[in-house]
Amino acid sequence: MSASITGMGMLTPVGSGPREVYDALLHGRSGIVKPPAEHPIAGSIELAGILPPFDAGDLTKGPDGKVMDRTVVLAQLVAAQALSDAGLVVGDNVAPERIGVIIGGVGGMATLEQQVLARAERGRAAVSPYLLTGILPNMPAARVAIRYGIRGYTSAVGTACASGAQAIADAVRIIRSGEADVVLCGASEAPLFPTFSETFGNARALARGWDEPSQASRPFDVRRNGFVLSEGAALLVLERTEHAVARGVAGYADVAGYGVNSDAHHPTAPRPDGEGAAACMRLAMASGGVRPEQVGYVNAHGTSTKLGDVAESVAIGLAFGAHQPAVSSTKALTGHMLGTSGVVEAAAAAGAIATGLLPPTYHLDEPDPACPLDHVRKEPREARLEYALSNSFGFGGQNVSLLLGAASTPETRVINSEGNQ
């Protein structure tokens, strides 16, 4: 049973909506900046991927809205985008019981920090009675379900930087099992507050010492010295292909398979032999009944860290053997949006399949010899793809690989075509 991507919603440092984001990834528009003086993380970290201004409407008004965590706000905004993009109206062209919501992320830790500080300064009375609805990790999904009357499978995924990709994998499984016709899936992350940012900075995991912010994230480059922490949210509408065809809508691409496994190695470091990630990619291909030589492109996890980029390069070599696909990492422009990255990157892989244009790894001036891949760099590459993989790896050894193929709907939507967001 096929699962087609029929809608996309995105808020990222490089833009809003699939068309604007994919165009930025193709043409090298970076969203990485030095935090302005008025930003909460100014002075905490050197660089970040910060969202452009957006209108939250009525979401942050009233007593409840005042403590609604940014992750919840972002999730509701991209849900509106994605459902509109898919032309879906719950209770009209999809039954409330036949649509689900799965949203990953680390939860509302910014709200928790703010409330802890308030209590320390002003005592018990300063703690909001709405605290839990701000910090619980299921709140982005729950709020979306409440807003749209979605009564099907609803869940949160907490697998660190693999969360968004795993939400997509879970959605495919649920559609294949017949539990749902449609699933709104992805992640919402708002990590740009002092404590969370500073833990990465103190671990010396972040890019540092760059005068030009846009040059700091450089996956697979010999000069890379850490990742750039970013915020963002993205949701995809996955739909049983027969349901989409009955509605008369075209898909961007299909999620044809997935792999999910664990390194079982270390809380933060990847397996240096790459075997866990390689096994995950093999699982994804097997899930879709695809041979390695049918996969022409991998959108890599590629965070711009010394250990991670090498481990993934080794893993890709193991998974594909003599056939080496083209590889790029779009985090060079977006920075690392944690769980949201995997959703945007799956969308980029879908765009590459539909358009025949592979987004490059920008700022990859001198590939690290320890990362011997067929790098797409400097400019987009034309390629006719049968299948593509999108990799996401998270702390704890969480590995997710998504297999994407051409849309199985009669017609295909192209992300950068006229009329798309």
Nearest-angstrom CA–CA distance, 332 and 215: 8
- Identify the helix (H) or strand (E) that includes residue 393: strand 387-394
DSSP string, 246-299: HHT--BSEEEEEEEEEE--S-SSSPPTT-HHHHHHHHHHHHHTT--GGGEEEEE
**How far out from the chain centre does Cα 246 lie?**
29
Catalytic-role residue among 336, 363, 371, 375: 336
Catalytic residue list contains 336: yes
Q: Nearest CA to 404 among 354, 339, 349? A: 349
Please state, in angstroms and rounded to a whole number, the distance separating the CA atoms of residues 161 and 174: 21
Active site residue: 185, 280, 301, 375, which one?
Answer: 301
The size of the chain, in residues, is 421
d(CA 112, CA 108): 7
CA–CA gap between residue 47 and residue 119 (Å, rounded): 30
How far from the centroid of its chain's Cα atoms is residue 92's Cα?
A: 29
Residues noted as catalytic? 161, 301, 336
